[in-house]
A and B are shown apart, each in its own frame.
Chain A
Amino acid sequence: MRFRDILMTLLIGLGLWQALVIITDAPHFILPSPWRVAQAAYKSRVIIAENTWVTAIEVVLGLLIGTLLGVATAIQLAMSKTVERLMLPILVFTQAVPVFALAPLLTLWFGYGMGSKIVMAVLIIYFPVTSAFHDGLTRIDSGYRDLSISMGAGGWNFMRYIQIPQALPSLGTGLRLAAVYAPIGAVIGEWVGASKGLGYLMLLANGRAKIDLMFASLIVLACLTVFLHITIGVLATRLNRYAQGVTN
């Protein structure tokens, strides 16, 4: 059922695209037809695959590191009022700096390789993950807190056995956002300066007027993001079900 829906949407999208090509009669170096793009994708499949692999690794590592940092920060903020008072304004302020504006600087500091793109992805997802998880950790049912105090709970044990499990659905929400943002971070990083990756390939194709290859890269990037979105979505649903104690 779901697969059929996706297939239908895909066919409608392709139909509209083809219709646009026919109606506007745009030259193929402005708007290539789906068929042309498919041909380009097949012809350049090796180069596309290589660059997809690079971007995928950047995105996945960015997601992992960003999530770990975000989770650790949120726990620190929730454990200590002092840390929260000091850190929260700094975190909010850093959000006022557009991460894209940092891309040239990151390239300068971390080089043209994967490093700067991973840092970029980490930076872009760090705040949504921290903020969502921190929100979940602090929005604790006061009854649980009362019960724990009456039981003589220590701060870390309360965090470990009650706050963290209860906040997992909020972490899931943060991760869903992160799954969409992380590829953006990596690609922006690649645009600013890179020798590999889908963002780099798009720029390269654009510079050589191979618009069909550029479209093909774009579609692969979109597929990568959708795949990530679905995978993280499954994980987030599991976190939700776990926290609610719903077994399959």
Chain B
Amino acid sequence: MTTSPGITLKGQHRIGGRVLFDADLLIPGGQWTCLLGRSGVGKSTILRLILGLETGGLFSGSFAATDGMPLAGRISYMAQSDLLLPWLSVLDNVCIGARLRGESPHFGRARDLLNRVGLSDHTDQKPATLSGGMRQRAALARTLFEDRPILFLDEPFSALDAGTRADMQELASDVLQDRTVLLVTHDPAEAARLAHQIIVMSAQATQNWPVPETVALREINAPETLACQAKLLAYLRGIAA
């Protein structure tokens, strides 16, 4: 497998003349970068900007892949809402990207991926029959089906209950190894567990936050994970005040 590229972004984003953020980021290739910051600071906007989605503002600056190749078509996206199509089976949902591009889907690979996320017994079911955690696993399989080196995850686990969330973090960390992951999260505990790099964002600047020296994925109750989480939380409360 070719190494996943990193992403650099430098510039200012304005909405109606007001500066939303002023950022200078390096998202290293093949690692998990967690992006934290208070609500409305523009974390999701960064994802949307790089993905080429509507941001409702104007960006002056530049972003690029570290390998010099175009970013288009190399990023897959997973949002907080699972965005499963209710009328399609789980299997068809996983393959939807191929259909949308007018390609014929490779069902064998989709089944393998569903097997990997533990949904092999539910391939023919409709999303409405699944639990929140199962639905998010199906969305993860759909993201994996795109088989792209870069993944943007916008609070994908935030709507799940604590136990399911921890399970999903472990599953995602396992199946997304060696890919470049940019995870937007509100949860310091999630960042402390998963990140190779933590970036804390405010309107004025972005700053790299020290991560524990242990290897991600970290134990939830490991002292360094808890310490990192506590410091992050204290800092975020400070800048929110």
Per the 8 Å Cβ criterion, residues 88-121 of B in contact with A are: 88, 96-97, 99-102
Q: Closest chain A residue to B139 by CB distance?
A: A147
Nearest CB of chain B from residue A220's CB, rounded to whole Å:
38
CA distance A134 to B50 in the complex (A): 31
Per the 8 Å Cβ criterion, residues 153-179 of A in contact with B are: 153-154, 157-158, 161-162, 165-166
Partner of A161, one of B75, B100, B127: B100
Nearest CB of chain B from residue A14's CB, rounded to whole Å:
44
A35 sits at the interface (CB 8 A): no
Q: Closest chain B residue to A244 by CB distance?
A: B86
B128 to A246, Cβ gap below 8 A? yes
Partner of B100, one of A151, A243, A244: A151
Q: Indicate with 1 or 0, residue by residue over A11-36, a CB within 8 angstroms of chain B CB atoms.
A: 00000000000000000000000000
User: In the complex, what residues of B have CB within 8 A of residue A143's CB?
Assistant: 79, 81, 83
User: In the complex, what residues of A have CB within 8 A of residue B128's CB?
Assistant: 244-246
B126 sits at the interface (CB 8 A): yes
User: In the complex, what residues of B have CB within 8 A of residue A98's CB?
Assistant: none
Partner of B96, one of A141, A146, A151, A166: A151
Which size class do B's interface residues fall under?
Answer: 20 to 34
Nearest CB of chain A from residue B181's CB, rounded to whole Å:
15
Interface centre among B79, B85, B88, B126 (most CB of A within 10 A): B85
User: In the complex, what residues of A have CB within 8 A of residue B101's CB?
Assistant: 151-154, 157
User: In the complex, what residues of B have CB within 8 A of residue A148's CB?
Assistant: 100
Given A146-B53, A149-B52, A151-B146, are A243 and B87 also a contact pair (CB < 8 Å)? Answer: yes
User: In the complex, what residues of B have CB within 8 A of residue A153's CB?
Assistant: 97, 100-101
Q: Indicate with 1 or 0, residue by residue over B43-55, a CB within 8 angstroms of chain A CB atoms.
A: 0000010011100
User: In the complex, what residues of B have CB within 8 A of residue A149's CB?
Assistant: 51-53
* 7 extra A-B contacts, CB within 8 A, seeds A161-B100, A245-B87: A141-B83, A149-B51, A151-B96, A153-B100, A153-B101, A245-B88, A246-B126
Give B residues with C-beta under 8 Å from A: 48, 51-53, 73, 75-77, 79, 81, 83, 85-88, 96-97, 99-102, 126-129, 146, 152
Give A residues with C-beta under 8 Å from B: 141, 143-144, 146-154, 157-158, 161-162, 165-166, 242-247
A-B contact pairs, 13 of them (CB 8 A): A146-B77, A150-B75, A150-B76, A150-B152, A152-B97, A157-B101, A161-B99, A162-B85, A162-B100, A242-B87, A244-B86, A244-B87, A247-B129
